[in-house]
Amino acid sequence: MILSGDNISPENSERISTILDVIMSYARLDFSRKTFISGNGDSIDALCAGVNMLGEELESSTLSLREKEQLLKEIHHRVKNNLQIVSSLLNLQSENIKDPAYLNMIVASRNRINSMALVHEMLYASRDLTKIEIGEYIKRLSNNIYLSLSKPDASIHFVYNIEKSYYFEIDKMIPLGLIINEVITNSMKYAFPDNKGSIGIGISDSDGTTTLLISDSGVGFPKGFNLEKDSNLGLQLIKMLTEQLSGKLNINFEGGTSYNIAF
């Protein structure tokens, strides 16, 4: 065999080295190079032909994948834009509403839509179109909610306890985003009558279970509050979305309010 043993000629050794260089360029997604086929009909020519065919196939597959990725990015971009249009329409509508209860409902709906739009916005900007890092998402979402709901004299700050990066796919990010939105919204609206306090948000994992913990330093729920009977729409959504994640929800009313969601 020409390709084995110690009988490889300097010319063939150089040809083999060139073939390896071409294969390495394919690994870097550079398909511009081709191997030289001498026309001798030897095994190295056969190898060169095989490498060239491999390069053409990889180039075709890569272009197809890039087209699909671009299409998926465009989908996320359009979904985000459409959600933001709906949010803007709700915002315009809220300017003419005098009824506080109706206004609160509009603002809450707008923030829920924004929490979903943020998922698509981050996916569109991400190199990985399948999942996003939830730590950055939490910080951006909490800041958006604060700007939406805080009063001029508010002094409420967020404390983040996210020690590493956690990545979730869209089927988990949407319900997680909505849960975080509802919990922070409840705290902003009810926990701080003097507009001062803190909201802590943390994520941890252990033995395959991820835990989202959100707590506030506020006044807590009123005495006699029954979670099953007295829940508002926000609490009902939190319970429903936790079930969607196949998770477990625990709410503690002592020393403020804390929500523990394990999934």
Question: Does residue 4 fall inside a structural domain?
Answer: no
Tens-digit pLDDT profile for residues 74-109: 665 666 666 666 667 666 766 767 777 767 777 777
Residues paired with 42 in a beta bridge: none
Total domains, the chain:
2
Give CA–CA dist 258/244, Å, rounded: 20
Distance between CA atoms of 67 and 163, rounded to whole angstroms? 36
Band of pLDDT at residue 1, cut at 50, 70 and 90? very low
Domain match, 72 and 167 both = no
Gap between the Cα atoms of 44 and 15, Å rounded:
8
Q: For CA atoms 142, 147, 150, 153, give the dihedral sign.
A: positive
Mean local confidence (pLDDT), 240-252? 85
One domain, residues 162 and 241:
yes
Only one residue has tokens 């081709």, namely 34
Specify the CATH number for the domain of residue 253: 3.30.565.10
DSSP labels for 43-77?
HHHHHHHHHHHHHHHHHHHHHHHHHHHHHHHHHHH
Helix axis angle for 43-94 and 100-125, nearest 10°, is 170
Residue 3 is assigned to a structural domain of this protein: no
Residues 251 and 237 in one domain: yes
Establish if 1 belongs to a structural domain. Answer: no
In a domain, 175, yes or no: yes
Instruction: Give 80's contacts (C-beta < 8 A, 6+ positions apart).
Output: 117, 120, 121, 124
Do 227 and 244 lie in a common domain? yes
Residues 21-37: tens digit of each pLDDT: 777 777 666 778 888 78
| Residue 186 and residue 73 in one domain | no
142 in the same domain as 55: no
Whether residue 230 is predicted with pLDDT greater than 70 in this model: the reply is: no
Q: In the chain, which residue ranges form alpha helices assigned H by DSSP?
A: 10-27, 43-94, 100-125, 134-149, 170-186, 233-244
Same structural domain for residues 113 and 191? no
Backbone phi, psi, residue 119, to 5°? -60, -50
CA angle at residue 84 from 189 to 263, to 5 degrees? 60
106 within a domain of the structure (yes/no): yes
**142 lies in a domain?**
yes
Of 80, 99, 129, the residue that ends a domain is 129
Domain boundary among the residues 72, 96, 129 is at: 129
Instruction: Report if residue 182 sits inside a domain.
Output: yes
Structure tokens at 222: 């009123």
Domain extent, residue 102, equals 10-129
Q: Are both 16 and 114 inside the same structural domain?
A: yes
Q: What is the pTM of this model?
A: 0.64
Q: Give the Cα separation of 242 and 175 in Å (integer).
A: 8
The reported pLDDT for the residue numbered 4 is 45
**Is residue 2 situated within a structural domain?**
no
Average pLDDT of every residue of the chain: 76
Average pLDDT over residues 181-207: 85
Whether 12 contacts 35, CB under 8 Å: no
According to DSSP, residue 193 is labeled T
Residues 120 and 151 in one domain: no
